[in-house]
Amino acid sequence: MLFSHDGIHDSQTHLASPSYFYEQLKREISLANRSLKPIALIKIIFEKSDQEDIRAYDILHFSNELTLLTRKEECIGRLGINEIVIIVRDGIGDSNHLINRLLDSTALTVNHTLCVKIARVFGEVGEGSLALLDRLDRTEAISR
């Protein structure tokens, strides 16, 4: 995975790079602890439906559609080849709406050639970023 020269964006998808995403996550956790409004993390894993390798076109199309389905204030990070994590402020209600939009979007699945799985966790007061990401990794993903 390549990152832009600024270290902030993934060069293929223009989503946040892991290092930038982790800094944003720490900031959002701090804000959530002060406001007592929990954040949500939504993990999206996408794979080819037909067992073929994911092409660069699929990744680019997926990330463009994902950007259109989310709000500007939501940080979207590409943390793996086919793994995206979104930070949602005031996560409970907003994350429900976002998950429904994501699961209902045929554009996100590149006309049903990608299988999309989604997992979500809510931050707890005093929980650090690594513990939150660890819980997210252990959460069972849903798909449609």
At 131, the pLDDT band (50, 70, 90 cuts) reads: very high
Q: Report pTM.
A: 0.90
130 belongs to a structural domain: yes
Distance of CA 50 to the CA centre of its chain: 23
2 belongs to a structural domain: no
- Determine contact, residues 81/54, Cβ cutoff 8 Å: yes
68 belongs to a structural domain: yes
- Helices 18-35, 129-138: crossing angle, 10 deg rounding: 100
pLDDT confidence of residue 117: 93
| CATH number of the domain that residue 32 is part of | 3.30.70.270
Backbone φ, ψ for residue 124 (5° rounding): -110, 150
Q: How many domains does the chain have?
A: 1
6 belongs to a structural domain: no
| HEC letters along the chain | CCECCCCCEECCCCCECHHHHHHHHHHHHHHHHHHCCCCEEEEEEEEECCCCCCCHHHHHHHHHHHHHHCCCCCEEEEEECCEEEEEECCHHHHHHHHHHHHHHCCCCCCCCCEEEEEEEEECCCCCCHHHHHHHHHHCCCEEC
Query: What is the overall mean pLDDT for the chain?
Result: 87
Amino acid letter for position 72: K
Per residue in 35-64, pLDDT (tens digit) is 888 999 999 998 887 777 778 888 888 899
Amino acid letter for position 134: D
| Dist. CA 99–CA 126, nearest whole Å | 25
Domain of residue 79 covers 18-143
Reported residue count of the chain is 144
Per the model's pLDDT, the better-predicted residue between 54 and 33 turns out to be: 33
80 belongs to a structural domain: yes
pLDDT over 90 (residue 128): yes
Per the model's pLDDT, the better-predicted residue between 12 and 6 turns out to be: 12
1 belongs to a structural domain: no
pLDDT confidence of residue 144: 64
67 belongs to a structural domain: yes
Taking residues 74-92, what's their average pLDDT? Answer: 91
